[in-house]
Amino acid sequence: MQDLKLLKTLYEQRLLGFRYFNDIKSTSFVKSDIKDMPSSLPELWNYMSDCSLCNLSKSRKTIVFGEGNENAKVMFIGEGPGELEDNSGRPFVGRSGELLDRIIQNVLQMQRKDVYIANIVKCRPPLNRNPSEEEALKCKPFLMKQIDIIKPKIIIALGSISYSYLTGDMDAKISKVRGEMINFGSSKLMPTFHPSYLLRNPSAKKEVMSDMLKVKAIL
């Protein structure tokens, strides 16, 4: 009976875009069955507030759960918290956050409080390295549950890490996939450049502007 439940969970997770590795213990998937998770954001936050499913829990200061409007039409998903986010508990603070705020205000003509902002992983990877596949997969059910609760009309994947872990397409190049809206469950998904990339490559802002205008057109 327990095995059947696990098998059903694995099939459901695969439909949601998961890939499986032998070294992930089945118990983590039982806990991560999104149907068993609380169905409001505050309760979900509380449910995972002592999460230790991966090694990032050992070095984090704060779980950066995500923030914004529970009924947001637009959800931004970045990679993972940096130092400022780990200290403050809030996603996208600092220079990349200021740029994201400007994109939200100037292009989408919305406020940060109108959208929802989260990350692929909720705990800071040491030295701001990319999250590992195992870390991303352990955290993904919580993100999928957030998406399930918020039901955004459109999800904006910021950068290739976000796009790859959301879609399972690990070889995707963001410069190739950006700007093309795809279906993602009952939402749309728009991949675009990460704000940190824009800080290093300001000339790519025009592409992001064009991507965000496509988003604005469907809101």
Q: Which is nearer to ligand URA, 37 or 99 (CB)?
A: 99
The distance of closest approach from Cβ of residue 120 to ligand URA in the complex, given in angstroms and rounded to an integer, is 8
Q: Which of 81, 131, 141, 152 binds ligand URA (CB under 6 A)?
A: 81
Contact of 112 with 68, CB cutoff 8 Å: yes
Q: Which is nearer to ligand URA, 81 or 152 (CB)?
A: 81
What whole-number distance in Å separates Cα of residue 52 and Cα of residue 73? 31
For ligand URA, what does the binding mask look like between residues 169 and 208, x meaning CB under 6 A? Answer: ---------------------------x------------
Q: Which is nearer to ligand URA, 28 or 167 (CB)?
A: 167
What whole-number distance in Å separates Cα of residue 141 and Cα of residue 85? 21
State the DSSP string of 130-184. PPPHHHHHHHHHHHHHHHHHH--SEEEEEHHHHHHHHHS-TT--HHHHTT--EEE
What count of Cα atoms within 13 Å lies in the side-chain half-sphere of residue 53?
27
Minimal CB distance residue for ligand URA:
78
Cβ neighbours for 118, distance < 8 A, ≥ 6 positions apart? 65, 66, 75, 76, 77, 78, 91, 143, 146
Q: Does 82 bind ligand URA (CB under 6 A)?
A: yes
The distance of closest approach from Cβ of residue 204 to ligand URA in the complex, given in angstroms and rounded to an integer, is 16
The distance of closest approach from Cβ of residue 14 to ligand URA in the complex, given in angstroms and rounded to an integer, is 26
Q: What angle do CA 91, 85, 207 make, to 5 degrees?
A: 50
Instruction: Write down the residue that tokens 């118990």 correspond to.
Output: 27
Q: Which is nearer to ligand URA, 68 or 80 (CB)?
A: 80
Q: Which of 68, 78, 131, 191 binds ligand URA (CB under 6 A)?
A: 78
Q: Which of 13, 32, 96, 160 binds ligand URA (CB under 6 A)?
A: 96
Query: Under rule CB under 6 A, how many of the chain's residues touch ligand URA?
Result: 11
Q: Which is nearer to ligand URA, 31 or 205 (CB)?
A: 205
What whole-number distance in Å separates Cα of residue 61 and Cα of residue 146? 22
Cβ neighbours for 206, distance < 8 A, ≥ 6 positions apart? none
Distance of CA 3 to the CA centre of its chain: 30
The distance of closest approach from Cβ of residue 173 to ligand URA in the complex, given in angstroms and rounded to an integer, is 18
Judged by the rule CB under 6 A, the positions of this chain that interact with ligand URA are 78-82, 85, 91-92, 96, 119, 196
